[in-house]
Amino acid sequence: MNRKAVVLLSGGLDSTLALKMMLEQGLEVLAVNFTSPFCTCTPSKAGCSNAAVKVARENAVPIEVLSKGPEYLRVVEHPRFGVGRGINPCIDCRIFMLSKVRERLGAWEAGFVVTGEVLGQRPMSQHMRAMKLIEKESGLEGLLLRPLCAHLLPPTEPERQGIVDRSKLLDIQGRSRRRQFEVAETLGVEDYLCPAGGCLLTDPAIAARMRDIFAHMPDYTMADVRLVRLGRHFRLNDNLKVVVGRNHAENTVLERVVRSGSSRFFLDHDVPGPTAVAFGPLTGEDRREIGRIVVRFAKKARDGAVPVVCEQDGERVSFLVEDAIPEERLDSYRLHP
């Protein structure tokens, strides 16, 4: 067996400790980090992948950053092993990532895979049955080492072959992170992001938006999925969804996503207010209804009719809206759990 280990590195505490433990044993290591539109900490300068890159650099370990990509969205849409409290298919997700790593083991000249998983830490994917299932379904039986809880699991092939010294592995179990903090101190790990990890798929509001995409947008793209992170989302009918920006930054992003078949709404005459993008065909009444929604979220109350613009496929229509949409009707359109 090749002595090189591939460590799944999120940039969080547990995977950082797993990486350090392998380095402490003198093993050659390649770190691998997966990105997706659902990471909770992906502002461009402080995201998990940057944290993973930082950890890898600090430890002089090469790192590959892989995007989960559109294939992963099909996993989210059709999970084989259920979902958690949102739409998070944690078991399928782990199998997906580990399968991608297994496929590349030969190319990376690596012999086995290491993760920072802790038995009993996460209710869905880190209990004994799920951990065994993940190992089997990813094709990594005997090749998946979880050093933080290795003593609670059967020895893996690198342990049996003496490549990894099992006596230096740990038996951490459960949700408390006290032991990890102690180990971090011993290994000199001080700076880490997202100690518990984070994923928007566990958020009920994001789950509702994703379910709506799966139900109503059979040809969805990554761009559609990235939009679930921002704005207020409303479904007016089976064919018409509206996203309203909550601030200037979101309005700017929404202006960029307008494409053929979608339309942009905003207040006329440079009146401050949100940008709304409607996805789907519009009747005249739909336009007026979206105008009422835009007026509802305009910051300053105005007397009298408000001019709203609708732009679609290069055409611009301006019309007057008398009233903001009533709250009850707005709530009936809102995509929430």
Residues that bind ligand SF4 in the complex, under the rule CB under 6 A: 88-90, 93-94, 125, 199, 201-202
User: For residues 136 and 142, is the Cβ–Cβ distance under 8 A?
Assistant: no
CB of 17 to ligand SF4, least distance (A): 17
Q: Inter-axis angle of helices 90-104 and 128-137, to 10 degrees?
A: 40
Phi, psi of 264 (to 5 degrees): -110, 135
Cβ proximity to ligand SF4: between 21 and 199 the closer is 199
Cβ proximity to ligand SF4: between 125 and 275 the closer is 125
Distance CA 136, CA 134 (A): 5
The C-alpha angle with vertex 265 and arms to 240 and 216, in degrees rounded to 5, equals 15
CB of 12 to ligand SF4, least distance (A): 10
Cβ proximity to ligand SF4: between 90 and 294 the closer is 90
CB of 10 to ligand SF4, least distance (A): 8
Cβ proximity to ligand SF4: between 68 and 296 the closer is 68
Query: Which pair of tokens denotes residue 230?
Result: 């921002």
User: For residues 121 and 17, is the Cβ–Cβ distance under 8 A?
Assistant: no
CB of 261 to ligand SF4, least distance (A): 30
Query: Which pair of tokens denotes residue 75?
Result: 């996993």
Distance CA 334, CA 250 (A): 18
CB of 11 to ligand SF4, least distance (A): 13
323: closest CA among 301, 282, 334, 335?
Answer: 301
Cβ proximity to ligand SF4: between 33 and 156 the closer is 33
Length of the chain: 337
CB of 134 to ligand SF4, least distance (A): 10
Cβ proximity to ligand SF4: between 89 and 274 the closer is 89
